[in-house]
Structure 1
Amino acid sequence: MKTLICDCNRSMPLTPALLGQVRQALAATPGASADGLEAAHHLLCRREAGAFQRAAQGGEPLLVGCTQEQRLFTELAAQTAGAPGLQERPIHFVNLRETAGWSRDAAQAGPKLAALIAAAQRPEPEPVPAVSYRSEGRCLVIGPAEAAEVAARQLAGTLEVTLLVDAAGGGGLTQSHDFPVHAGTLRRLSGWLGAFEAEWESRNPIDLDLCTRCNACVRACPEGAINLAWQVDLAACRGHRACVAACDSAGAIDFDRAPLISSQRFDLVLDLRASPAFTMHQPPQGYLHAGADPLRRAMALLQLRDWVGEFDKPRFVYYEQRLCAHSRNEQIGCDACVEVCSTRAIRSEPSAKGQTQGAGAARARGPGSAGLPPALGGRIMVEPHLCAGCGACTTVCPTGALSFRAPSAAEQGRRWQAMLSAYRAAGGRDAALLLHSQEGGTRLIDELGRAARLDASVHGVPARVLPVALWHTASTGLEVWLMALAHGASQVWVLLTGEEAPQYRQALGEQMAIAQAVVSGLGYAGEHFRLIEARDARDLAALDAALQAPSAQGVAAPTAVVAQADKRASLELALEHLIAQVPVVPAGLPEAIALPAAGAPLGTLRLDRQRCTLCLSCVGACPSQALADNPERPQLRFTEKNCVQCGLCVKTCPEDALQLEPRLWLADGARARKTARVLHEAEPAQCVRCGKPFGTLQALQAVMARIGHHPAFQGAAAERLKMCSDCRVIDMASRTREVRITDL
């Protein structure tokens, strides 16, 4: 890939020595290229635009180290004779000015420049399947009569508008009957862009479809109980029914009419009421709540006009049911994804037995599924049309049943690995990854860079801080962060800008508490993970100070292992390297590191042997093969590495004998957690008829204690309880024959 960089009218110290450092680092980084970095341009977007055009005419991929003039460069490439089309050879851009060059330590930013360029040179992620929307412009406007009609007239000509007049909202309608008008109270609104279902209840005695708006009823009513929206105030009405007589010809007024429930489908919804129909943090696409705010209303009207046609968005989340720890045997275990989703795109369907969804369904019985217990009792359902792509569900999912695909965690990890490799090759130390959103986060970092250029008291983004733009800050979590440390990062920070729902912040905080407990327990000094909050330019000073936090202790040597598509595999690889690289600890490593209970995906089981009857119902409930039996003898075995702390075994156990304990077990260098160990075993009960072992003595004694006093289990029936299943059948058959012979 050919790379062009510019010092923006010499405002960045891109010296030959610094560029030489960058070139050497890129040459030593697998997959990166130093082509085109012989010298920095000074005005690539103006006086030296010819250099860009010559580069654009070449056939190799092109990277430009400027995002401010991205539109200009794109247009210039399209106008350059001989340049490949943007579809054939897209041009990539990376911001080097605000993120690195406009900082008080820009002269030392060579490793950072190499890191940013190496990451930007990575190939684009594989495209993911799309979710489609189709809108024909059928728009429902809900609200007070006058405001709703004004909005409808502004949308006329672009959209097909229907009004649902809120009787309590006040105001009147004009005499002209230009739109379908319904009066009533919204009972239910569901759906998304192109597929909304609205249901409302009308108690108004005036049928607005039959009403000619002649106002005879308004003039006839002695109490003035009818307004110019042709709504009857039933509290003010005294039952004179003069309005009925006045409307005799049209027959639009009927006080005996039962409340009418109506429903209709719409593509778009504009809500002008004080309280929105959707209360979640992010409502469905196609629904806009403007209330009485004129500015929000004007912006909503502009946006609605653009929502006509066919639209696609990525299918951000992939669900593989066989890995899901949500439900087994009609018991609900992990519901972290349901709780964290801010769009209500994920719901629990306890009765959806055996159903499948998406690509995960096709592989539900594929390789690797052998031996897993059946998913009896239900599953989660993901509605991709409601999904906003935050990825929080994939972050809190302990098993990897939900995975983010735009880009995938594996691709994200490889990009970060390339970035950190180039940074290290250029001599950089103590790199801190600053994860931020593509919208609000990028805007704040740009503002900080510009402030540092104009104000000497502002430091700007430090040379050791590597900004990483994400589709959403909630889309990465524990395993990706720990893998970043294994790849050589000193710290991982997440910048929150107010775009995040409250539950996202809580989830990220819980994940960071677990990650910090792990690395601190292993003896790495310092604070490795932090949430940084900054909403707008008023918070720039606090953001500037937060980015100058001291570094933390990292690994001595980074791992060459790449991130995996499997969440648990990546987590294990990261843990293995962090354990192998532990700094010298005088007292040695503890046997186990206690982890916070909230969200912990690692841990053990505590078993009360006095209660456990080895019924093995927990084995059937375990979704991750952490629990297993022994075909040779009554045993309950446990592999701690596989445990996801979902709690299904605890809820399934009929004896309340199990308890979760979040931890990272380090016995035998953490090798013990990969080996199955016996939690409980017992002497088998032997059949009193054939001597074959079946069940356990403890379980048999428990059964005898519970039902042995029942009249149905006395005498021979009591002895039958002490037999294996085969002998029980034989004994019952032989006694039946004896009874028949006696009868004869």
Structure 2
Amino acid sequence: SQPETPVRDVISEGTCLVLGAAEVALPAASALATSLAVTCVLPETADDLIPTDAYDVAVGRLRTATGALGGFAVTLDAFRPLEPGGRGPATFGDPSDGARSTCDIILDLRGEGPLFPADHKREGYARADPGDPLAVRNAIARATDLQGVFEKPLYIRFEESLCALSRASRPGCERCLTVCPTGAIVPDGDHVAIDPDICAGCGACAAVCPSGAASYDDPPVGHLFLRLRTLASAYRAAGGTAPRVLFHDPGHGGEMIRLSARFGRGLPADVIPVEVPNVEGVGHAELLAALGVGFTSASILPGPRTDLTVPDREAELARAIVGDDARIAILDASDPDALEDALYGTAPAPRDTDPILPIGGRREVTRTAATALTGAESPIPLPDGAPYGAVNIDPDACTLCLACVSLCPVGALGDNPERPEVRFQETACLQCGICASTCPENAITLTPQLNLSKNALSHRVLHGEEPFECIECGKPFGVKSTIERIIQKLEGQNWMYTDSDNTRLIKMCDDCRITAQYHQENSPFRMGDRPAVRTTDDYLKDKKPN
């Protein structure tokens, strides 16, 4: 059974803000006032405005709006509240900028652009064209139903420590920031923060997150992997040989399949529909897992409002890994007939590979599936921006300062305590780019690829040099070439290193350098010669006879 999705309560007390011209906004406010606490903000005063105690009226210009159902915050400029008065036309106060307020619901009848990105996914925000009476009535009806206590699913589980946004203010991975359609993801120090109230649960962030910091929780991706394996194995157990999987959403996709079954040919017998909350969250890992467990092809059925940015990118990545464009498709079907035409036809031939067991996270399942499907011994080239790849170091530019090692968020880059080396584990690399942005010598470049060999599982040396040996004790320390270069630049060129033993200090390890500095002539650390230790004989000599 599907694990329960965590939820939180969202409380809407029915405070509604209506925006728009007087001829549309005032009738809407009157209709809503019977069930909600309404404030109507007009862009300008109306000559025939009659004050009423059913709702509040003000004049102003909206500057900003943030939040979601039960927690909107708005800022208005040129704000003029309605002044209480007796008979006669309505009068408004003096304008003021920066007026702030909160509300639970926003009804936008301005006829301008939406207040929020992907406004149809912003809960608590109803928008309609003021010139369309039917659309206005529908928006009023939606706003009326937004009062009470609602359960908000927590779609995304987020682990801050795994996020590779940045380290020490050095920029890194920004994949989730660029694909979130609602603006629910914002930078927050070295990681991002996801606003659960704004998040609409599309799952795009989880599909592109290379580290697993953002993972879909409605249901968890592991549940979907096992579901795919169960469906494929059940199909084969019933005598089938080449099943195909079709990912679809419950709304548009589910209705298309039902209409096809009732009025058309229905889905082909070898096509197994898999309903997911949102097809935008189907990434390359899900597509490869489907092929790995035994499906011959994997298709995505988008809806009319589906943002194809992530599905297109993830499908391209999956095709690059598999090396077969025919097995992964995003269908362009706007009606049941078009869906049937896309599915009835020549299906890819079945693969002669053993099904995999999709256990682990997205990266582990991707690697397992790619190994079973391709058996590639050499690295597979991938498109730019892929979350797999190698790090390359220019040995002529690298000084082995190890700044890249200290900031790598997943430990893909490491050092050797015994000698100056930069070591690299390719399977752990996220291609976040923090190492490249950190390197002071610009010696690091990234190569997107998927290395399925066993060598990618272990650390290998990217760059190493001989250590310098202390001239006093022989202990290895530092990088030989770097210390020699420093001495070459300073000796005879700087007054501190001319006619002095300071150059010798550079050639010493930390312990020997401190000892040598302490015993230098005129050393400020000496504080004079140490007095001799007094013995019993000294005390007897100093003792006066009785």
The two structures have a TM-score, normalised by structure 1, of: 0.67
Corresponding position: 1:512 with 2:315: yes
Answer yes or no: is the 8 Å Cα contact 2:517–2:523 preserved in 1. no
What displacement does 1:640 show?
A: 1.2
Q: In structure 1, what is the equivalent of residue 21 of structure 2?
A: 144
Which structure 2 residues correspond to residues 24-423 of structure 1 after superposition, within 5 A? 123=1, 125-167=2-44, 172-202=48-78, 208-212=82-86, 214-215=88-89, 259-282=96-119, 283-292=121-130, 293-350=132-189, 378-423=190-235
CA 1:553 to 1:614, structure 2 compared with 1: closer, same or farther past 3 Å? farther
What displacement does 1:526 show?
A: 5.8
Answer yes or no: is the 8 Å Cα contact 1:146–1:171 preserved in 2. no
Answer yes or no: is the 8 Å Cα contact 1:181–1:209 preserved in 2. no
The one of 685, 688, 692 aligned to 2:475: 692
The one of 440, 453, 457 aligned to 2:252: 440
The one of 496, 499, 502 aligned to 2:302: 496
User: Deviation per CA, 1:473-511, whole angstroms, max 9, x where unpaired?
Assistant: 02221122212111100011111112223xxx1222121
What displacement does 1:572 show?
A: 2.5
- Structure-2 separation of matches of 1:171 and 1:394: 53
Corresponding position: 1:552 with 2:348: yes
- Structure-1 separation of matches of 2:431 and 2:526: 58
- Structure-2 separation of matches of 1:533 and 1:388: 24
RMSD over aligned Cα, in angstroms? 2.5
Unaligned runs of 5+ in 1: 1-122, 216-228, 231-251, 351-377, 453-458, 583-588
User: Deviation per CA, 1:421-451, whole angstroms, max 9, x where unpaired?
Assistant: 1111122122111101111111122222233
The one of 454, 467, 473 aligned to 1:671: 454
User: Deviation per CA, 1:359-399, whole angstroms, max 9, x where unpaired?
Assistant: xxxxxxxxxxxxxxxxxxx1110111111111110000011
CA 1:554 to 1:736, structure 2 compared with 1: closer, same or farther past 3 Å? farther
CA 1:464 to 1:633, structure 2 compared with 1: closer, same or farther past 3 Å? same
- Structure-1 separation of matches of 2:11 and 2:489: 62
Q: In structure 2, what is the equivalent of residue 57 of structure 1?
A: none
Answer yes or no: is the 8 Å Cα contact 1:634–1:683 preserved in 2. yes
What displacement does 1:711 show?
A: 5.1
- Structure-2 separation of matches of 1:149 and 1:644: 54
Q: Percent identity?
A: 33
- Structure-1 separation of matches of 2:205 and 2:350: 29
What displacement does 1:728 show?
A: 3.2
Q: In structure 2, what is the equivalent of residue 591 of structure 1?
A: 378
- Structure-1 separation of matches of 2:302 and 2:526: 84
Which structure 2 residues correspond to residues 591-740 of structure 1 after superposition, within 5 A? 591-598=378-385, 600-666=386-452, 670-701=453-484, 703-704=486-487, 709=493, 715-735=500-520, 738=523
CA 1:258 to 1:438, structure 2 compared with 1: closer, same or farther past 3 Å? closer
Which structure 2 residues correspond to residues 15-30 of structure 1 after superposition, within 5 A? none
CA 1:425 to 1:188, structure 2 compared with 1: closer, same or farther past 3 Å? same
Unaligned runs of 5+ in 2: 530-546
Answer yes or no: is the 8 Å Cα contact 2:404–2:436 preserved in 1. yes
Corresponding position: 1:527 with 2:364: no
- Structure-2 separation of matches of 1:610 and 1:630: 20
CA 1:640 to 1:553, structure 2 compared with 1: closer, same or farther past 3 Å? farther
What displacement does 1:590 show?
A: 6.0
What displacement does 1:593 show?
A: 1.6
Q: In structure 2, what is the equivalent of residue 574 of structure 1?
A: 369
What displacement does 1:462 show?
A: 1.1
Secondary structure of the structure 2 residue equivalent to 1:635: strand
What displacement does 1:312 show?
A: 0.8
Greater strand share, 1 or 2? 2
User: Deviation per CA, 1:453-485, whole angstroms, max 9, x where unpaired?
Assistant: xxxxxx431111111111000222112221211
- Structure-2 separation of matches of 1:147 and 1:197: 23
- Structure-1 separation of matches of 2:332 and 2:490: 61
**Counterpart residue type for residue 129 of structure 2:** G
- Structure-2 separation of matches of 1:740 and 1:641: 50
User: Deviation per CA, 1:309-366, whole angstroms, max 9, x where unpaired?
Assistant: 111122111111222222112112111011111111111123xxxxxxxxxxxxxxxx
**Counterpart residue type for residue 88 of structure 2:** C
User: Deviation per CA, 1:676-718, whole angstroms, max 9, x where unpaired?
Assistant: 2111110112223432211112332454577775556654444
- Structure-2 separation of matches of 1:742 and 1:387: 66
Answer yes or no: is the 8 Å Cα contact 1:497–1:533 preserved in 2. no
- Structure-2 separation of matches of 1:612 and 1:419: 51
